[in-house]
């Protein structure tokens, strides 16, 4: 197997790295403290073509491959997991279903402005009563003449109050379980649709997370996305790509943890020598590096496999599970290596520690990833 980056992948990585270093890292502490979503950064990312990265040029995208996308997620996550998560939710969760299941007309109307970076997209699956059990959706959509009437609430939705368009799921055939769920496109401003208050969160604080509330919300009949009653299957496929994305976020965060911890360990002197000379500290750093490398290269390989068109349900769950748990361990150890300084906001590792936890929850908890893997094994 030949595994080398193309010139274009290298350039895209450098673009994301330069952007992160110049326009994310200097401001991330302030965004984290205030919990403000940096919409201006997303406008900039839009200008640079990042918001439509993997979609074909005819739909306003840049036509880059999944590995390039993974590299961008990784670089952004080194700077801010909040920013990177919102980016990932826009591309993998918001735009991807429009691209995969949308009609020509829907793509022209909704995907193009999203891919061009003029709009942001969000994906509303989770509900108060349907988290891990996403099939337990209670939101309903009923056809009334030429309109769908939607009622229900989606919670913990990334980009909710920023998005110009939401892709959501709702029950269209009662009593049919997961075979009675369909997907819909709801533009901002649809009558009966509003966004709830933003959550005050432990981590990824500058990522926008809020509720989507539908009260007799009316959208045109043609806003059904994909086939009727196929919504569950559609979002499982969407989530496969999303989990690969989260694995890439985890790799970026774990790298940031290792970078900080290593630099600190080489400088901080106790008992007459740098911390990095103590074997107990070395072993922590070695474990971080080992897990990071395995997570990184598994994720890179999976990005290539995805572009070959393979079904990646099991592999995406493995990548997400391993990488997110590795990142969470790396964040814990980074705080430990920095001691009290790691516990204070003087260093970014306390933010890494808070942010890392999200990786084990969003887009399917670690338990759900294990469940998916076990199911794929035939258990």
Ligand X SMILES: Cc1cc2nc3c(=O)[nH]c(=O)nc-3n(C[C@H](O)[C@H](O)[C@H](O)COP(=O)(O)OP(=O)(O)OC[C@H]3O[C@@H](n4cnc5c(N)ncnc54)[C@H](O)[C@@H]3O)c2cc1C
Residues annotated as catalytic are 363
- Cα separation, 201 vs 214, in Å, equals 23
CB 221 within 8 A of CB 185: no
Should residue 146 be labelled a site residue for another protein when binding is judged by CB under 8 A? Answer: no
Element containing residue 196 per DSSP (H, E): strand 193-198
- Partner interacting with residue 365 (select from another protein, ligand X, none; CB below 5-8 Å by kind): ligand X
Decide if residue 25 touches another protein (CB under 8 A). Answer: no
- 11 near another protein, judged by CB under 8 A: yes
Could you tell me if 319 and 247 are in contact, meaning their C-beta atoms sit under 8 angstroms apart?
A: yes
Closest distance of CB 255 from ligand X, Å: 21
Question: For 9, left (φ over 0), alpha (ψ -120 to 50), or beta?
Answer: alpha
Yes or no: say if 351 and 345 are a contact pair by the CB < 8 Å rule. yes
Residue 143 binding target from another protein, ligand X, none, CB below 5 to 8 Å by type: none
By CB under 6 A, tell whether 68 contacts ligand X: no
**Which contiguous run of DSSP H or E holds residue 148?**
strand 147-158
Site string for ligand X, 359-378 (x = CB under 6 A): --xxxxx-xx--x-------
Among 131, 135, 187, 192, binds ligand X (CB under 6 A): 131
Residue 366 C-beta: closest distance to ligand X, Å = 7
Kindly state whether residue 19 participates in binding another protein, applying the rule CB under 8 A: yes
What 148-151 contacts at long range (C-beta under 8 Å, 24+ apart), as own/partner pairs, is 148/184, 148/218, 148/219, 148/220, 148/221, 148/223, 148/224, 149/192, 149/216, 149/217, 149/218, 150/184, 150/186, 150/192, 150/193, 150/214, 150/216, 150/217, 150/218, 150/219, 151/214, 151/215, 151/216, 151/217
Q: Which of 7, 105, 200, 308 is in the footprint of another protein by CB under 8 A?
A: 7
3 state DSSP class of 59: helix
Q: What is the per-residue binding string for another protein in 224-263, x denoting contact by CB under 8 A?
A: ----------------------------------------
Cβ-based nearer residue to ligand X, 201 or 277: 201
Least separation in angstroms between residue 25's CB and ligand X is 21
Which of ligand X, another protein, none does residue 342 bind (CB under 5 to 8 Å by kind)? none
Q: Which of 49, 55, 23 is nearest to 38 (CA)?
A: 23
User: Which tokens hold the place of 98?
Assistant: 């429009």
| Contact (CB, 8 A) for 303 and 244 | yes
Instruction: Write down the least CB distance from residue 367 to ligand X, Å.
Output: 3
Is-contact 94 123, C-beta < 8 A?
yes
Contact partner, 373, from another protein, ligand X, none, Cβ < 5-8 Å per class: none
Selected range binding another protein among 2-10, 149-157, 252-260, 369-377, rule: CB under 8 A: 2-10
Structure token digits, residue 355: 């942010």
End-to-end CA distance of the chain: 31
Among 46, 124, 245, 348, binds ligand X (CB under 6 A): 124
Residues 45-64, interacting with another protein (CB under 8 A): 47-50, 53, 57, 62-64
To another protein, the closest distance from the beta carbon of 369 in angstroms equals: 31
Binding site for ligand X (CB under 6 A): 89, 93, 122-126, 131-132, 156-158, 201, 204, 209, 358, 361-365, 367-368, 371
């Amino acid at each position: 197997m030949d595994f080398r980056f193309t010139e274009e992948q290298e350039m895209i990585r450098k673009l994301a790295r330069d952007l992160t270093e110049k326009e994310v890292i200097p401001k991330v502490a302030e965004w984290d403290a205030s919990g403000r979503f940096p919409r201006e950064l997303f406008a900039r990312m839009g200008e640079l073509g990042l918001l439509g990265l993997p979609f074909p040029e005819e739909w306003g995208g840049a036509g880059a491959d999944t590995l390039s996308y993974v590299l961008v997620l990784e670089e952004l996550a080194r700077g801010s997991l909040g920013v990177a998560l919102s980016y990932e939710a826009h591309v993998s969760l918001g735009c991807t279903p429009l691209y995969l299941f949308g009609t020509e007309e829907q793509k022209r109307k909704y995907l193009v402005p999203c891919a061009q970076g003029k709009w942001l997209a969000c994906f509303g699956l989770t509900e108060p009563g349907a988290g891990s059990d996403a099939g337990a959706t209670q939101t309903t959509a009923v056809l009334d003449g030429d309109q769908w009437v939607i009622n229900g609430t989606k919670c913990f939705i990334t980009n909710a109050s920023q998005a110009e368009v939401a892709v959501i799921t709702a029950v269209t055939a009662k009593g049919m379980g997961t075979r009675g769920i369909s997907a819909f496109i709801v533009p901002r401003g649809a009558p009966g649709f509003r966004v709830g208050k933003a959550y005050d969160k432990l981590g990824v604080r500058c990522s926008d997370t809020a509720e989507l509330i539908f009260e007799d919300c009316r959208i045109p009949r043609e806003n059904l996305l994909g086939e009727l009653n196929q919504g569950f299957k559609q979002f499982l496929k969407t989530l496969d790509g999303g989990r690969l994305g989260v694995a890439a976020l985890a790799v970026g965060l774990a790298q940031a943890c290792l970078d900080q911890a290593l630099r600190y360990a080489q400088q901080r002197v106790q008992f007459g020598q740098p911390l990095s000379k103590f074997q107990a500290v070395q072993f922590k750093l070695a474990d971080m590096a080992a897990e990071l490398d395995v997570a990184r290269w598994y994720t890179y390989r999976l990005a290539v496999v995805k572009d070959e068109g393979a079904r990646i349900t099991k592999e995406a769950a493995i990548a997400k599970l391993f990488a997110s748990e590795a990142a969470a361990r790396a964040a814990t150890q980074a705080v430990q290596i920095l001691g009290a300084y790691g516990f204070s906001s003087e260093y970014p590792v306390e933010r890494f520690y808070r942010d890392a936890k999200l990786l084990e929850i969003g887009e399917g908890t670690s338990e759900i990833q294990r469940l998916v893997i076990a199911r794929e094994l035939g258990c």
